[in-house]
Amino acid sequence: MLYGIILASGLGTRFSDDLPKQFAKVAGKTVLEHTIEVFERNKHIDRTIIVITPQYRHILEDILLRNHYGKIYKVLNGGDTRKESSSIAISSIDEENAYVMIHDCARPFLSDDVIKNCVEALKTYDAVDVAIASADTLIEVNDEKIIKNIPERKFMRRGQTPQCFKLSLIKKAHELSQGDENFTDDCGLVVKHNLASVYVVEGENKNLKVTMPEDIFMADKIFQINSMKAPTVNDFSAMKDKVVVVFGGHSGIGECVINLAKEYKAKTYAFSLENGCDVSDYENVSEKLKQVYQTEGKIDYVINTAGILNIGKLFDRDIAHIQKEIAVNYMGSINVAKASIPYLLKTKGCILLFASSSYTRGRALYSTYSSTKAAIVNLTQALAEELYHDGIRINVINPERTATPMRYKSFGKEPDGSLLAPEKVAEACLNTLLSDYTGQVIDVRRKDY
Ligand code: CTP
Ligand code: MG
């Protein structure tokens, strides 16, 4: 039995926000929820124990009520120090032959690979740490900020968590260390009393600990990079009888989404200029959704692939032309999202919008197109938070250059194999619709790297 222990009982004094950092929101959820989800998804962890700051216990209880976690075993009030909090969790387990994996809640990027390697190492060692090599030279200083010692860098590591132990070993380490609070982690106790060899598993740079206020921005970026690939649900049979509405659904990616959803017996509706729907017109979009609802009695998924791409220097372009591009690309996404909300509230459904790879940096000659795409990503992040408690998810698909009629009309013939197949984008869309992702940028590429 492997118990996962999430230490979330700190006050986050260095983070200096109204609430401790475990309740800071990033990518649509609190840091605490992200960390709980890592444990929920991981197949090696059997039960999760959360140690929480007593005065904020009610926030955790709200989180537990809102979500459907299956592994939460205990919620314990923590102590004044990290050591005390971990001791509280360890001593709450009676099972003789159990193992524990103690993890800082403030590290929401723990990967399944690291957990797997820890579990593997536990077969040989009773104590396992996770650490990364230091790219920087580490120096030891005295109180006057004068260097005392420079240890040889190749032997230096920066400790992370999780730290894993045979329960009986870490219990003994805590017993022997009573009264000594000078520890920042659990391996330190084992090493101090020389109780066992502590094996070090290779950690990951991205497994950062949210500590200072600026770390939350870094965490946000890591979430973006982390979601490079679409999730792989891959069992599209859950699409059966789902009502799927695709704006821009008569050609290109939109058409492929319709076809793939149909293949899995979803009820699909495509709207575009071809059947009199202009996404830049809110009433028009609203009317179409109403018609679908009247026919089907529900709407599960709404996707907006409609967009236009115009080239030209801003100075040279006609203002009406620019306004139309913004109306279709940006207001179109706002219109589709806003008009869908009343229906998706009932089904706890999902919205997909579309970005382009130029969203991260404006591109000359495409200033309006690339800036509308940046705005759509920003919009998605904001709406993911606004809609989180309503159970509506929203994500943005960011495909590489894709072989669509719009692309052909804008760029002409391009080398064979240089473009992404729209079918691949459609698969990423279905995977995302069926996942629990929200507020994410899902990159779709020809090759995964
Ligand atoms: N922790 C805990 N109980 C404590 C202190 C810390 O459970 N009494 C947890 C924190 O919630 C965090 C992890 O241990 O997930 C690592 O500690 P740290 O990064 O130092 O967090 P805080 O103590 O909350 O932050 P600070 O030191 O800035 O106050
Ligand atoms: Mg601390």
Q: What is the pLDDT of residues 312-345, one digit of tens each?
A: 999 999 999 999 999 999 999 999 999 999 999 9
Q: Say which amino acid occupies 64.
A: L
| Angle ∠(163,165,167) on CA atoms, nearest 5 | 135
Distance from residue 121's CA to the centre of ligand 1 (Å): 26
- Based on its alpha-carbon atoms, the radius of gyration of the chain, rounded to whole angstroms, reads 25
The atom number, within ligand 1, closest to the CA of 106 reads: 15
| 54 CB neighbour count, 10 Å cutoff | 11
Q: Which domains does the chain have, with CATH numbers?
A: 2-226 (3.90.550.10), 229-448 (3.40.50.720)
Q: Is the CB of 182 under 6 A from ligand 1?
A: no
* pLDDT at residue 229, rounded to an integer: 67
Q: Is the CB of 78 under 6 A from ligand 1?
A: yes
Q: Is the CB of 325 under 6 A from ligand 1?
A: no
Distance from residue 82's CA to the centre of ligand 2 (Å): 7
Each residue of 358-409: pLDDT tens digit? 898 899 999 999 999 999 999 998 999 899 889 999 999 999 888 898 888 8
Distance from residue 9's CA to the centre of ligand 2 (Å): 9
The partner residues of 102 in beta bridges, in order of sequence, read 5, 163
* Ligand number nearest to the C-alpha of 81: 1
Each residue of 122-166: pLDDT tens digit? 999 999 999 999 999 999 999 999 999 999 999 999 999 999 999
Distance from residue 118's CA to the centre of ligand 2 (Å): 24
pLDDT confidence of 228, banded at 50, 70, 90? low
pLDDT above 70 covers what percent of the chain? 98
Distance from residue 56's CA to the centre of ligand 1 (Å): 14
| Total count of residues recorded for the chain | 449
The atom number, within ligand 1, closest to the CA of 15 reads: 28
Which of 27-31, 94-98, 266-270 is modeled with the greatest confidence? 266-270
Question: Which has the closest alpha carbon to 419: 406, 434, 436, 433?
Answer: 406
Q: Is the CB of 162 under 6 A from ligand 1?
A: no
The partner residues of 270 in beta bridges, in order of sequence, read 246
CA atoms of 209 and 224, how far apart (whole Å): 17
Tell me how far CA of residue 356 lies from CA of 55, 363, 418, in angstroms. Answer: 44, 11, 16
Mark residue 248 as left, alpha or beta (left: phi above 0; alpha: psi -120 to 50; beta: remaining): left
CA atoms of 431 and 85, how far apart (whole Å): 39
pLDDT at 34 over 70: yes
User: Measuring from atom 7 of ligand 1, which residue has the nearest CA?
Assistant: 9
Question: Cis peptide before 162, with omega less than 30 degrees from 0?
Answer: yes
The atom number, within ligand 1, closest to the CA of 51 reads: 7
| Angle ∠(333,311,417) on CA atoms, nearest 5 | 85
CA atoms of 281 and 285, how far apart (whole Å): 6
CA atoms of 387 and 371, how far apart (whole Å): 24
3-class state of residue 259 by DSSP: helix
3-class state of residue 251 by DSSP: coil
Give the helix ranges, DSSP H, for 297-404: 319-326, 332-347, 367-388
Please return the burial class of 246, using the count of CB atoms within 10 Å of its CB with bins 0-12, 13-18 and 19+.
buried
CA atoms of 98 and 219, how far apart (whole Å): 33
Q: Is the CB of 11 under 6 A from ligand 1?
A: yes
Q: Is the CB of 85 under 6 A from ligand 1?
A: yes
Each residue of 196-210: pLDDT tens digit? 999 999 999 999 999
* pLDDT at residue 76, rounded to an integer: 98
The atom number, within ligand 1, closest to the CA of 79 reads: 8
Helices H / strands E in the chain, number of each:
14, 17
CA atoms of 77 and 61, how far apart (whole Å): 12
* Ligand number nearest to the C-alpha of 8: 1
Query: What is the value of pTM for the model shown?
Result: 0.73
Q: Is the CB of 19 under 6 A from ligand 1?
A: no
CA atoms of 353 and 332, how far apart (whole Å): 10
Q: Is the CB of 105 under 6 A from ligand 1?
A: yes
Pairing of strands 243-247, 301-304: parallel
Each residue of 273-307: pLDDT tens digit? 999 999 999 999 999 999 999 999 999 999 999 99
Q: Say which amino acid occupies 288.
A: K
Mutate to test the pocket of ligand 1, among 49, 77, 102, 104 (most ligand atoms within 8 A of CB): 104
254-265 as b/e, with b when 16 or more CB fall inside 10 Å? bbbbbebbeebe
pLDDT confidence of 94, banded at 50, 70, 90? very high
